[in-house]
Amino acid sequence: MQQKDILLKFVQGRKSNGTSWVDQRNKGWHHNSTDAVCTWDGITCNASNNIYAINLKGTNYTGTIPPEIGSLDHLNHLYLSGNNIYGAIPDSILSHKKLTHFDASENKVRGETPIFQSPKIQVVNLS
């Protein structure tokens, strides 16, 4: 699955909240976007154009964290604080080997206290 398709899992199937969230983005996040993924709002890539960070802090995103995000092999930082995220943190995020920073504070994340398995994890914020 390509990086674009993985990112679009955030908004796929979200007809009311997803569409309005997408419409508020300046770059990308549309299925028909021709913008390079590395130029999309909230996306940072490394020198090889692999997604390194997703920063969607305070963007009024409503939905769950798609498990497919865990297949972004180079993802180090995932910042999702101050949104309307609900549900549990996917196992694919908890077991991501390169994730160093995860912030889902100020959301409605539920479930047992997650245990991150990455040997590189430095920051976890779920407050």
Give the per-residue pLDDT at 16: 47
Give the per-residue pLDDT at 120: 94
Cβ–Cβ under 8 Å, residues 58 and 85: no
Whole-model pTM? 0.91
Cα distance between residue 28 and residue 36, in whole Å: 8
Positive or negative torsion for Cα 108, 42, 103, 111: positive
60 Cβ neighbours under 8 A, 6+ residues apart: 21, 24, 83, 84
Give the per-residue pLDDT at 14: 55
- What is the average pLDDT score of the chain? 89
15 Cβ neighbours under 8 A, 6+ residues apart: none
Cα distance between residue 126 and residue 32, in whole Å: 34
Ranges in the chain, pLDDT < 70: 12-20
Give the per-residue pLDDT at 13: 56
Cβ–Cβ under 8 Å, residues 18 and 12: yes
Give the per-residue pLDDT at 111: 79
Cβ–Cβ under 8 Å, residues 7 and 37: yes
